[in-house]
Copies of this chain bind each other. A is one copy, B any other.
């Protein structure tokens, strides 16, 4: 059974995100794939190269799944609610790739920060993903406004940013605070959030 370049990338992601760059040795990565260190050098010029390529590989997946999570045309309320269940969202990260690549949310945040430290030039790629995601959100709100589901006097860009920032921050705090119930707090916040933005003509719950 040949080891493909993609398998190496996946295993690398798994090491880099759980062990951190410097603590992930090529020997171990190779060992986990039952090949030798030299084998990796056939596909990648250096460890740095492997690192950058594997983070890119991961970012593409994240971007794809982020896009997929934004579905136009369905009632916004239900979709939004799912974003506020912080523990559930965080749980998605582990399955995100369908490849058992990632640990939890904090692993990926750590990984993305560390790549910025080493390779500042990768900032633009991360930046673009955030931008695309928030743009998707914005369209979601615009669409709901058009359909009259939410109030028309709210700024869609502000809403998109507010939501995204809250979710990121909420998961971050959640990942540090083991005793905190992210779903419960998220629901509380969602209730207030929705009450504020829903169209006046909406049936109050």
Q: Identify the closest chain B residue to A160 (Cβ).
A: B185
Question: Quick one: closest B residue to A131, CB to CB?
Answer: B177
Q: Kindly state whether residue A165 has any CB partner on chain B within 8 Å.
A: yes
Question: In the complex, what residue of chain B is closest to A174 when comparing beta carbons?
Answer: B165
A71 near B: Cβ within 8 Å?
A: no
The quantity of this chain's copies bound in the complex is 4
Q: How far is the CA of A196 from the CA of B18 in the complex (A)?
A: 41
Q: When the two chains form the complex, which single residue of B123, B161, B173, B196 contacts A165, counting CB atoms closer than 8 Å?
A: B173
Quick check: B127 and A179 within 8 Å, CB to CB? yes
Which residues on B sit within 8 Å (CB–CB) of A179?
127
Determine the main DSSP class of A at the interface with B: helix
Is A116 a contact of B106 with CB atoms below 8 Å?
Answer: yes
Partner pick for A167 among B169, B185, B192, CB 8 A cutoff? B169
Cα(A191)–Cα(B159), bound, Å: 11
Jot down 20 A-B pairs with beta carbons below 8 A, ordered by A: A19-B117, A20-B22, A20-B114, A109-B109, A113-B113, A123-B178, A127-B176, A130-B173, A157-B185, A157-B188, A158-B188, A159-B192, A162-B166, A162-B189, A165-B170, A165-B173, A167-B169, A168-B169, A169-B172, A172-B172
A99 adjacent to chain B (CB < 8 Å) = no
Q: A117-B20, A117-B110, A166-B166 are in contact. Are A161 and B176 (CB under 8 A)?
A: no
Residue-wise interface mask of A (173-205) relative to B, using a CB-CB cutoff of 8 A (1 in contact, 0 not) = 100111100000100110111011000000000
New contact pairs (13) apart from A20-B117, A161-B188, A164-B169, CB-CB < 8 Å: A109-B109, A110-B110, A110-B113, A123-B176, A130-B177, A154-B192, A155-B188, A158-B191, A158-B192, A161-B173, A162-B192, A165-B170, A165-B189
Any B CB within 8 A of the CB of A56 = no
Do residues B109 and A158 form an inter-chain contact, with CB atoms below 8 A?
no
Scan residues 25-73 of chain A and give those whose CB is less than 8 A from a CB of chain B: none
A23 at the interface (CB under 8 A from B): yes
